Chain A
């Protein structure tokens, strides 16, 4: 039997600044199909959390239903987790986030969970700019129910049985741009070099960070003619920029060519370093991002990388002017300030 993961790790593995080994961020051994793109995303999440020195118990991992939504079992064994009803992960994430703003919220969802049954929830969590990372593991099919075309399947994409998808796809990145997300990126499960810094930047971003990760389904959607197959993606992938994420207080070591460089400083002082590969695109301009996206779609390219970021993002807590303390840290005194305060408030309405 080989589904037992040995306890041994490479003898040279070291602790990060938070005092954890990379293996402390791992989960159980995956029971997804062998070769599933989701496993690479899981590994990227593990790498990102380790490199970000996040304490595992300060992370909440959330998911809905689907192959993607099984994934939280395979990373961050020592974190909080919530496996919600199909498509309802944003609601639960909103509630949790409102109750405790000090944790990092990491939601994963699939194209079925997000673009079909959960699309209403998805749009609203975008427009509320909830402070969370939302990773959509996008394989263009319903893998858990044997590979029917999903709402993100491209027109003309062939299924494993050879049938052609006749419906227009929902482009979740455009949808997010349209509905108010403040950090939008697309990546590919097979490109960890890009995906890991994207996840790190998304975790630092104060607001809704959406990453659409194309993640091939090896079992049902990795055939010739599918537009979500490993080979197809590799042939059509276009990258917006060389991308690096520099956490706060670290030396910036990457030097890019003059003129193409753009750095975005996040609220906590950490920086996103971009070396743009297109001069006609400004990642902090929503319209420019939309235009670039449409352009590459028309060219038949799959544009990946950071597409849009609002450096002045204000998350839901700021908008609602909520308590700066998590609810579980409020004392009785905070919650019941006494009749004098009540009187004062009531006076305001007289």
Chain B
């Protein structure tokens, strides 16, 4: 193998599994350490710079970081650090942050940008562009900003005050908000004097289900995201006693839990496929079950039953899933007799689609498969050069953190477009590698690996939460639990950096490494090397850190997979050929936030 190029900014970035997995590349270990040091405000700002909505995401993020967390790999029973809920600890305990945020300059730069849709993608674009002096106009059909964060996430998961606070941090930067303004024509927008237009209108169409009886039952059949929006805006405060939710995603979980709060006593979720294929996050499923909501799987809906004009319930078939060798699933009907479930109301939460009826098709904005706009995947530029897309509107439904990541890149594109720079130009990441040695046995980070199991977030009493849909279920970690959970972080951003010239090949690092990551051996092809290391390196997603050839003609190979970043290799290295150095990787934004 060739020696690893640690000058490549992505090499050490990839070692920080959580940050690498995060669409916005939030420097997770950095803010977790700040939380452990009670520097909540600083931790909040590290997040705000990166993902704009720390308080919201600390409650609602899909947390792609957590399955990636190294802690979950080091032992079978070990669970990842509760990264998401630690973010909330920073948001809950922060001090005054407004003064730390950039202000929009009074003298504008003369460029006008329109943002269609007031959700996370648009707000991120606004946040990034406003400090540069852009005149920004944000349009949303509702009376407040936030988009799907407001309409689709129930208050018991995301209190309105948290949402308002973080939306306002952005809109307070001199954004011209045009609320209660549904944009009906892209042409009208383009006819105005905007230099660029950003579309962040999400995926607003909930899918319907065409089954026998659907039309007759219409009065009691609701589309998931519309149902959630009507509850959020207090257009609806009741539901029948018996409710069926169709679907296995997070919207279905929100619908069933909301139903429980609106009077639903017998709320049932029915999924047509197996549990393991459910799209909902496991913790959301757990929370639904904790509220006495049974979930049935492998039951595709067959028909609605309406008697005397009133919905009585639904018939369901039974299937089992079979997978061919490519993993493609087919649902095979079983012999079990159909099941009838009684219902006063049915909520269909089986997915959502993009919809751009308001974009005229003769403007030069081309659409492709599934009626999604044709975009440059890096710049988010559409085929009409001054129009950009982001969030769910770009490539279909994802999540908030992805929308924020899109927003940052789209903002760069818009900035370049408006400043006459090639839109394809990207900004290099900021990187910083700093020695952590502080004394003989001291590092600037807490190197001991604590043994605590993951802490569970405490919940409010069910009797209280089920009686008021606005009472938040999760109470968040208190400061002490937050500290202990933060200490579970392995500090994967503190890198083991190897200097060949200093190594005397004494093997001290090999001997002390608790997880047998380090090997000195003759070089070879990667597949061969992975087999003959101190411990087999079977996780192909994780790189091998390979040195140049040492005086004994061997090379140093470190398997990054289960390195605990405990610093013992550097501690036991007599020549400091191993050194622990903190790598701070940042995605560069249009304007410097911190």
* Chains A and B come from one and the same complex: yes
Complex interface: chain B residues within 8 A of A216 (CB): 506
Instruction: Assess the B443–A36 pair: CB atoms within 8 A.
Output: no
Which chain A residues in 207-257 approach chain B with CB under 8 Å? 216, 218-219, 222, 230-231, 234
Q: Would you call A10 and B507 a contact (CB within 8 A)?
A: no
B533 nearest CB neighbor, chain A only: A10
Interface string of A172-209 (1 = CB under 8 A from B): 00000000000000000110100000000000000000
0 or 1 for each of B526-548: is its CB under 8 Å from A? (1 = yes): 00000000011010000000000
| Alpha-carbon gap, A6 to B78, bound state (A) | 14
**Given known A10-B535, A10-B562, A234-B552, contact A43–B73 (CB-CB < 8 A):** no
Give which listed residue, A8, A39, A192, contacts B449 with CB less than 8 A: A8
Interface size class on chain A is 20 to 34
Given known A35-B572, A35-B574, A234-B552, contact A42–B511 (CB-CB < 8 A): yes
Residues of A within 8 Å of B535, CB to CB, are 10, 12-13
Is A2 an interface residue, CB under 8 A from the partner? Answer: yes
Interface residues of B in 497-547 (CB under 8 A from A): 504-508, 510-512, 514-517, 535-536, 538
Please determine whether B562 and A2 come into contact, CB atoms closer than 8 angstroms: no
Q: Tell which of B447, B508, B516, B566 has the most Cβ of chain A within 10 Å.
A: B508
Q: A7-B451, A34-B574 are in contact. Are A2 and B566 (CB under 8 A)?
A: yes
B360 on the A face (CB < 8 A): no
Asked if B572 contacts A34 (CB within 8 A), the reply is yes
Determine chain B's interface SS by DSSP, over half rule: loop
Known: A1-B442, A8-B449, A12-B536. A35 touches B506 (CB 8 A): yes
Q: Which of B556-594 contact A (CB under 8 A)?
A: 562, 564, 566-568, 570-575
Q: Is B213 an interface residue (CB 8 A)?
A: no
Task: Determine whether the beta carbon of A9 is less than 8 Å from that of B516.
Answer: yes
Contact A190 B507 (CB under 8 A): yes
Q: Are A190 and B571 closer than 8 Å at their CB atoms?
A: no
Given A12-B536, A34-B574, A35-B574, also A40-B508 (CB < 8 A): yes
Tell me the A79-138 residues at the B interface (CB within 8 Å): none
Does B75 contact A11, Cβ atoms closer than 8 Å? Answer: yes
Q: Please state if B514 and A30 are interface contacts (CB–CB under 8 Å).
A: no
Contact of B75 among A1, A2, A8, A230 (CB under 8 A): A8
Query: Which residues from A are CB-within-8-Å of B571?
Result: 2-3, 34
Task: Flag if B574 contacts A33 (CB, 8 Å).
Answer: yes
State the CA gap A6–B76 with chains docked (Å): 16
Residues of A near B538 (CB, < 8 A) are 12
- Provide the residues of chain A in CB contact with B443, threshold 8 Å: 1-2
Evaluate contact between A222 and B568: CB separation under 8 angstroms: no
Q: Chain B, interface size: which category?
A: 35 or more
Give chain B residues whose Cβ lies under 8 Å from the Cβ of A189: 507
> Does B68 have its Cβ within 8 Å of any Cβ on chain A?
no
| A2 near B441: Cβ-Cβ < 8 Å | yes
Chain A residue with the shortest CB-CB distance to B538: A12
**Interface presence of B448 (CB below 8 A):** yes
Partner of A5, one of B441, B506, B568: B568
Given A35-B574, A190-B506, A218-B574, A11-B511 contact (CB < 8 Å): no
Q: Kindly state the separation between the CA atoms of A37 and B441 in the bound complex, as whole angstroms.
A: 20
| Contact between B566 and A11, CB atoms less than 8 A apart | no
Q: What is the distance, in angstroms, from A189's C-beta to the closest C-beta of chain B?
A: 8
Q: Which of A10, A30, A37 contacts B516 (CB 8 A)?
A: A10
A144 at interface by CB-CB < 8 Å: no
Contact B515 A30 (CB under 8 A): no
Mind listing 12 A-B residue pairs with CB under 8 Å? Answer: A1-B448, A2-B442, A5-B512, A6-B564, A8-B78, A8-B449, A11-B76, A36-B508, A36-B574, A43-B511, A231-B551, A234-B551
* Other A-B pairs, 7, CB within 8 Å; known A2-B568, A43-B507: A1-B441, A1-B442, A2-B448, A6-B448, A7-B451, A39-B507, A190-B507
Chain A interface residues (CB < 8 Å from chain B): 1-13, 29-30, 33-37, 39-40, 42-43, 189-190, 192, 216, 218-219, 222, 230-231, 234
The 5 closest A-B pairs by CB, nearest first: A35-B574, A6-B449, A43-B511, A10-B535, A2-B567
